[in-house]
Amino acid sequence: MKKTLNKPVLAVGPFHPLQEEMEYYQLTLDGEIVTDIDVRLSYNHRGVERISETLQFDQVPFLVSRICGICSATHPLAYVQAVEDIAGVTPPERALYVRTIINELERIHSHLLWVGLGGHFIGYDTVFMWAWKYREPVLDLLEEITGNRNNYGNVKVGGCRENIQNEIVPKILKELDEIEKKTEMLTKAVLDDPIIHARLKGVGILSNKDALNYAVTGPTARGSGVAIDVRHDDPYAAYADVDWNVIAQPEGDVFAKAVVRLLETLESIKIVRQALKKLPDGPVSIEVKEIPPGEGFGHTEAPRGETFHYVRSDGGNRPVRHKARAPSYVNVPSFKASCIGQHVADVTLTLAAVDPCYSCTERLAVVDSQSKVILDYDALLKLSREKTARIKAELGAPEFKLEDI
């Protein structure tokens, strides 16, 4: 008999404690070393791009803010910028500052969330508890400004829906000092900790060349020495008016990505403080009546990297095509470069180091109960009943009657 040697395959997912959402990685192993990796996605489709074509231009921001709870300011902003380009509209200056403040607060809470999860992933739950504790006041500030902790619903074509009241600015500034103190302490503690150095340094290296070939963005790129940042390269909102630095590290390992995110959080606090102090007077929106035919390309720097929205208008009141690309869509596939050759114990951490967001990445399937393709409720019910009957027949289970209970 001919003997064949199958290589062991380790399944990570569809539900795995180190990955917050549904995704399924297949690791091919040679002993402890990963020799190949494949992924299955799309457990989480919602059909956002298709739904967008059924909504009016001013309804779409509410939809795209739900692409991802964490990035719920940056998606609508990228969309709105694309539409404003089509319409040739420039929002009032105060609106640009309000957008900057909300988007930077979002980055602060998102990065603190990742740092906490990063700590949790390596079994260092003190970091997790600290980071999430210090993240809370940021969400409280967002609630105070927009009314919501996530899904702020504040940006619209032509400006912002809600103003930041001048009266609450001193309070935000005071709170910001407190957040900065805590974040500085956390940053020093994390970057000074020998255990974290030992666990994260040299792990999951994404080389500069691979970062360019996989076209990764955000902290994943900046952690590999690719110093790109949409806020700096194609300034939008009020980023050109404030003083801040693009943080980049050359090493490409998980530690470099952690350093980038932590130092960036401090930069974001700087941006929010300056924007609040410079907040110009005036209205926060102008009326936009019609969107002419045309094409718009909007991009913003989300916490995870570049969010890109393409919008096409035919002069009607809805987009005829709307494409949204979240940063994880290009960051996650870089696992091919960063995970192969790694120890199996390092892979989940490496996968988590790009701060993947699967709900962002998967948006496209169409659920259309009118088409013959998709099963409607009755058909699903029938299938479900048939399956239960089949299993019962196989098991020889007795007939179920409600009155017997």
**Which residues lie near other proteins (CB under 8 A)?**
41-42, 45, 49-50, 53, 85, 212-217, 228, 230, 233-235, 294-295, 297, 299, 306, 308, 310, 312, 321, 323, 325, 329-330, 333, 336-337, 362, 364-366, 368, 370-371, 373
Nearer to other proteins, 50 or 270 (CB): 50
Nearer to other proteins, 221 or 272 (CB): 221
Nearer to other proteins, 16 or 336 (CB): 336
- Rounded Cα distance, 306 and 226, in Å: 13
Minimum CB distance to other proteins, residue 94 (Å) = 23
Minimum CB distance to other proteins, residue 329 (Å) = 7
Minimum CB distance to other proteins, residue 149 (Å) = 30
Minimum CB distance to other proteins, residue 113 (Å) = 25
Nearer to other proteins, 191 or 212 (CB): 212
Nearer to other proteins, 268 or 331 (CB): 331
Nearer to other proteins, 54 or 59 (CB): 54
Minimum CB distance to other proteins, residue 233 (Å) = 4
Minimum CB distance to other proteins, residue 374 (Å) = 9
Nearer to other proteins, 355 or 362 (CB): 362
Minimum CB distance to other proteins, residue 395 (Å) = 25
- Rounded Cα distance, 245 and 267, in Å: 7
- Rounded Cα distance, 374 and 368, in Å: 7
Chain-centroid distance, C-alpha 94: 26
Minimum CB distance to other proteins, residue 74 (Å) = 15
Minimum CB distance to other proteins, residue 144 (Å) = 33
Nearer to other proteins, 128 or 310 (CB): 310
Nearer to other proteins, 136 or 314 (CB): 314
Which residues, other chains included, contact 381 with Cβ-Cβ below 8 Å and sequence gap of 6+?
A: none
